[in-house]
Amino acid sequence: MAEKLSAEARNLALARLADWSHDAASDAIIREFRFKDFSQSFAFMTRVALLAEKAAHHPEWSNVYNQVRIVLSTHDAGGLSQKDIDLAHSIDALLD
């Protein structure tokens, strides 16, 4: 089971995830993505799904046409864990 990050560890991790925002109420990180069209957004979601499956850590997400919103939090840890930070970095790497 993953452990919830301490406030200090969370702040250090978030400093390296500039495009993600922290939602204190749910202790989750959130990022919104925009693509040219639905096909690009769906292809991105497919790539994220493969990463998430490999990591055995699945995001909360939504898709409306060319927009994808991803929320990462580890429910069994009660908030943000290293699993969320690692998946966020992997997701960001898809866009490099």
Domains along the sequence of the chain with CATH = 7-93 (3.30.1360.20)
What pLDDT does residue 1 have?
76
| Least confident span in 1-5, 34-38, 43-47 | 1-5
pLDDT per residue as tens digits for the range 64-86: 999 999 999 999 999 999 999 99
Percent of the chain whose pLDDT exceeds 90: 93
Contact between 74 and 52 (Cβ < 8 Å): no
Q: How far is CA 64 from its chain centroid?
A: 17
Distances (CA, A) of 33 to 11, 58, 75: 22, 17, 23
What pLDDT does residue 96 have?
81
